[in-house]
Amino acid sequence: MNETINDLLTPEARQRLEAQVTRAADKDRALRRFLNGVPLAKGLIRTALDTALRSDPFALLAEGWRTSKDIRTFYQGERAQLGEPVVVKLAAHDIERDLTPEVVIHVGAERRFPLRLALTLCGAFEGVELSILDRDMIAVGSGRCHLSLKLRVAGRTLESLTLGKLTLPGEHRLTPALPLYS
């Protein structure tokens, strides 16, 4: 599963995201003047967005399982003995993970133009099984995930995109295993 968020976007959706971020930057009068005066500065915004979109959606969402207190509690209560894998079957659930590419443009030593940009990857899961062994998540079983992406600038949602379905394989071994947070 090496698909990135960018791979799930249509070219039109990608252009809409870039346009929304550029419009948000244009709302700051000083930043707008700077962006119009220094053409390379717009590339910084595009690069920050591109870096965030190159993230692996599966890895981001797996982090939600890894940090779940409910999964740790269930695993600790159900495991028969150390050294035996436990399969945790999950009900329908949602996971949201924020990506916050930092866009700060510096002009000289004192002028800074931060742009508070946030992408939220949302996954709605059905029929997922996690295999846990000795406090590590070692595999993810089959299931389906409906993905969407929200773009927020300065705390306001500007764009919500449906990315489609991510079909999880019958068994995806996590290498390396993901330790459950304690």
**pLDDT (tens digit per residue) in 1-57:** 568 888 888 899 888 888 887 777 777 676 677 677 766 666 777 787 888 888 888
| 167 close to 126: Cβ distance less than 8 angstroms | no
pLDDT at residue 123, rounded to an integer: 92
Mean per-residue pLDDT for 115-143? Answer: 86
In DSSP terms, 131 is beta-bridged to 87, 139
Distances in whole angstroms, Cα of residue 101 to Cα of each of 35, 44, 98, 124 = 18, 11, 10, 23
Query: β-strands 111-115, 103-107: how paired?
Result: antiparallel
Cα 105 to chain center, whole Å?
A: 24
Pick from 35-39, 56-60, 145-149, 175-179 the range whose average pLDDT is largest.
145-149
Residues 16/39/120/132 CA torsion (nearest 10 deg): 120
Distances in whole angstroms, Cα of residue 165 to Cα of each of 33, 78, 156 = 41, 31, 26
pLDDT at residue 36, rounded to an integer: 73
Rounded to the nearest integer, the mean pLDDT of the chain is 80
pLDDT at residue 182, rounded to an integer: 57
Query: β-strands 93-99, 117-126: how paired?
Result: antiparallel
